């Protein structure tokens, strides 16, 4: 009797023992058939380019949600609305509103005052200038200040706004940065690398102008690169003729902009870009010579900002705007520690259809969205309960300004301190032209997170064919959804295989995807995820 009791007791313990073994085994990386079909379907013509707020975008969201349900992920979106009847069931969708807008028309005029008269020079939109504005119509008349390159980097030894009072004024700047055209110049050697990477971008110039109180930014053309607009427009019909249609695949299209309602953090001021003719008209009689200014700035690295006396600009911008309802798609694998989270995400939206062509967006970013789904399926099928909750996210509105991920972090019920790490997958299935071996991989992290970079190096070395890693600092960058998380001081790892020639063109199709490289990227993400979870388990 005693021996039988021992045997029965041992058999009773067997399932628990097996389950414990399952929970300690490594989770295998996704097989190629876990993501190849999803990649093809999300970037198929049926999805019509998955533009935010369109039928194709909602079709993609429905498909992703159905896959999450099929795999067995727990819904992590809003409360279910249909048939809810008082229970607390969640859906896979997180719905939110964005404002879609475009500039319908704009006018820009130079007003020259002197002691006895006033002269007005009216410029033509699309010929003399281009404009980008915010979601609201506006009109202003203000004096003009020339602020060099519009760079504000006192810590780097260069400050164009030093001593300037820009409140209520219009700031005029040049493209580029001191020494941008001469890599042998003193200015380039002093801080060209920083300025070239971020400090001289249009986005940064706009932010600097806004911070200093300007009501608008005007960028002058000192090179003639942006003219003649009129010739380009008059030749558009020839460019799109039957003879040229197969060659002209890089389609220009009417662009809308998007923002979250009442988003004061991203409030923008109007931005005008002038052609060289209009630029010369604006500075005529001021004593400012753009060519000489650039040469002197490259040599001396001293800002030479100045007020353009007696000159005033008047602009009027009429904006058309409308609300759109869009959605993120969210699912979760509950972890042992229900208070901590790791999030794996990638945006599923792209550019949609324009001029009769579909921007399929296979690499950007059907690759990342299908990769997130493949990882979710692998982890569910493994039977392993992770050390903490794993959220799998497909973001909307990335192409419109990281809107989906921004909405998530600003409205989440999770304390940001309880998010251990965010993995961002954006364009992981192609290579740049110079990467002939197809083994380059960019992984971005914050400067302070050396332990994360070490995880990347360590797990990359275990691949049978390791990547050539570009480990870069995401600080002050906002090129993908990772920026929404760094804004909340959340550690991130963002993966990208390169900005290829088919980026944002109709040529970005699934037939060009490198499934072997994509599989290895997911293998690296998966092994890095497991190491982060192991570190969490050992706390």
Determine the pLDDT at residue 476. 76
Determine the pLDDT at residue 472. 94
Distance of alpha carbon 98 from alpha carbon 508, whole angstroms: 26
DSSP states of 308-361 = EEEEEEEEEEEEEEEEEEEEEEEEEE--SEEEEEEEEEEE--B-EEETTEEE--
With bands split at pLDDT 50, 70 and 90, how would you rate the model's confidence at 275? confident
Instruction: Let me know whether 74 and 176 are in one domain.
Output: no
Instruction: Let me know whether 379 and 288 are in one domain.
Output: no
Backbone angles phi, psi at 100, to 5 degrees: -100, 135
With bands split at pLDDT 50, 70 and 90, how would you rate the model's confidence at 265? low
Rounded mean pLDDT of 301-309? Answer: 78
Asked if the model's pLDDT at residue 310 lies above 90, the reply is no
Distance of alpha carbon 210 from alpha carbon 158, whole angstroms: 18
Q: Among residues 266, 293, 320, which one ends one of the domains?
A: 320
Instruction: Let me know whether 271 and 154 are in one domain.
Output: yes
Determine the pLDDT at residue 228. 37
Instruction: Let me know whether 228 and 257 are in one domain.
Output: yes
- Average predicted confidence (pLDDT) for the chain: 85
Distance of alpha carbon 325 from alpha carbon 57, whole angstroms: 11
Instruction: Let me know whether 44 and 119 are in one domain.
Output: no
Percent above pLDDT 90 for the chain: 60
* Structural domains in the chain (count): 2
DSSP states of 134-160 = -SS-EEEEEEEEE-TT--EEGGGTEET
Instruction: Let me know whether 356 and 431 are in one domain.
Output: yes
Asked if the model's pLDDT at residue 111 lies above 90, the reply is no
Determine the pLDDT at residue 193. 61
Tell me if 149 is assigned to some domain: yes
495-505 pLDDT tens trace: 999 999 999 99
What are 343's two structure tokens? 């999030």
Give, in degrees to the nearest 5, the angle at Cα 475 between 529 and 257.
95
What are 433's two structure tokens? 């032209």
Q: Name the range with the highest mean pLDDT among 23-27, 100-104, 179-183.
A: 100-104
Asked if the model's pLDDT at residue 109 lies above 80, the reply is yes
Per the CB < 8 A criterion, the answer to whether 347 and 426 are in contact is yes
154-172 pLDDT tens trace: 666 778 898 888 999 999 9
Asked if the model's pLDDT at residue 52 lies above 60, the reply is yes
Instruction: Let me know whether 315 and 383 are in one domain.
Output: no
Instruction: Let me know whether 263 and 388 are in one domain.
Output: no
437-464 pLDDT tens trace: 999 999 999 999 999 999 999 999 999 9
With bands split at pLDDT 50, 70 and 90, how would you rate the model's confidence at 224? low
Distance of alpha carbon 164 from alpha carbon 158, whole angstroms: 14
CB neighbour list of residue 231: distance below 8 Å, 6 or more residues apart = none
Q: Among residues 278, 294, 320, which one ends one of the domains?
A: 320
Distance of alpha carbon 499 from alpha carbon 203, whole angstroms: 19
Determine the pLDDT at residue 213. 92
Determine the pLDDT at residue 448. 94
- pTM for this one? 0.79
Rounded mean pLDDT of 507-512? Answer: 97
Q: Name the range with the highest mean pLDDT among 2-16, 128-142, 197-211.
A: 128-142
174-194 pLDDT tens trace: 988 888 878 788 877 776 666
CA 468 to chain centre: 23
Asked if the model's pLDDT at residue 80 lies above 70, the reply is yes
Rounded mean pLDDT of 92-100? Answer: 96
Instruction: Let me know whether 281 and 347 are in one domain.
Output: no
228-262 pLDDT tens trace: 343 333 333 333 333 333 444 444 445 788 999 97
Asked if the model's pLDDT at residue 205 lies above 50, the reply is yes
DSSP states of 496-524 = E----TTTTSTT--GGG--HHHHHHHHHH
Domain CATH code at residue 412: 3.40.630.10
Tell me if 7 is assigned to some domain: no
Per the CB < 8 A criterion, the answer to whether 346 and 424 are in contact is yes
Asked if the model's pLDDT at residue 294 lies above 90, the reply is no
Rounded mean pLDDT of 289-293? Answer: 86
Would you mind telling me the total number of residues written for the chain in this entry? 539
Cis, bond preceding 228 (omega within 30 deg of 0): yes
Instruction: Let me know whether 258 and 111 are in one domain.
Output: yes
514-532 pLDDT tens trace: 999 999 999 999 999 999 9
442 CB-side CA count, 13 A: 21
Q: Among residues 268, 290, 320, which one ends one of the domains?
A: 320
Tell me if 18 is assigned to some domain: no
């Amino acid at each position: 009797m005693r021996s039988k009791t021992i045997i029965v007791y041992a058999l009773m313990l067997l399932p628990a023992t097996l389950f414990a073994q399952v929970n300690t085994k490594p989770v295998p990386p996704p097989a190629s058939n876990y993501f190849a079909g999803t990649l093809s379907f999300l970037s198929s013509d049926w999805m019509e380019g998955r533009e935010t707020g369109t039928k194709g975008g909602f079709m993609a969201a429905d498909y992703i949600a159905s896959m999450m349900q099929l795999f067995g992920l727990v819904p992590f979106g809003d409360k279910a609305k249909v048939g809810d009847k008082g229970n607390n069931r969640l859906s896979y969708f997180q719905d939110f509103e964005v404002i879609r807008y475009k500039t319908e028309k704009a006018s820009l005029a130079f007003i020259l005052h002197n002691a006895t008269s006033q002269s007005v020079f009216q410029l033509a939109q699309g010929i003399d200038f281009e404009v980008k504005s915010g979601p609201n119509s506006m009109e202003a008349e203000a004096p003009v200040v020339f602020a060099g390159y519009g760079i504000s980097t006192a810590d780097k030894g260069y400050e164009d706004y030093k001593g300037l009072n820009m409140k209520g004024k219009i700031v005029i700047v040049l493209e580029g940065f001191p020494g941008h055209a001469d890599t042998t110049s003193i200015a380039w050697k002093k801080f060209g690398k920083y300025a070239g990477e971020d400090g001289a971008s249009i986005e940064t110039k706009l932010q600097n102008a806004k911070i200093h109180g300007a009501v608008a930014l005007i960028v002058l053309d000192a090179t003639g690169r942006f003219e003649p607009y009129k010739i380009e427009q008059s030749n558009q019909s020839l460019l799109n003729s039957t003879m040229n249609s197969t060659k002209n695949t890089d389609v220009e299209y009417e662009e809308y902009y998007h923002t979250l309602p009442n988003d004061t953090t991203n409030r923008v001021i109007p931005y005008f870009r002038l052609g060289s003719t209009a630029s010369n008209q604006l500075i005529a009689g001021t004593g400012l010579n753009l060519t000489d200014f650039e040469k002197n700035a490259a040599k001396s690295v001293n800002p030479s900002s100045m007020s353009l006396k007696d000159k005033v600009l008047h602009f009027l911008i009429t904006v058309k705007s409308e609300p759109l309802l869009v959605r993120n798609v969210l699912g979760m694998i509950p972890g042992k520690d229900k208070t901590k989270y790791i999030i794996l995400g990638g945006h599923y939206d792209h550019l949609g259809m324009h001029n009769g062509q579909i921007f399929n967006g296979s690499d950007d970013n059907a690759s990342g969205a299908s990769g997130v789904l493949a990882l979710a399926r692998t982890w569910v099928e493994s039977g392993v309960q992770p050390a903490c909750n794993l959220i799998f996210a497909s973001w909307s509105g990335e192409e419109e300004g990281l809107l989906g991920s921004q909405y998530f972090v600003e409205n989440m019920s999770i304390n940001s301190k309880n998010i251990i790490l965010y993995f961002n997958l954006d364009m992981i299935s192609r290579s740049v032209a110079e990467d002939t071996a197809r083994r380059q991989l960019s992984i971005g992290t914050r400067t302070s997170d050396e332990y994360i970079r070490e995880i990347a190096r360590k797990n990359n070395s275990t691949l049978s064919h390791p990547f050539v890693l570009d480990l870069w600092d995401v600080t002050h960058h906002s090129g993908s959804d990772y920026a929404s998380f760094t804004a909340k001081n959340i550690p991130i790892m963002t993966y990208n295989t390169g900005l290829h020639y088919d980026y944002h063109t109709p040529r970005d199709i699934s037939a060009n995807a490198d499934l072997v490289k994509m599989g290895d990227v997911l293998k690296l993400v998966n092994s890095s995820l497991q190491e982060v979870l192991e570190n969490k388990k050992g706390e």
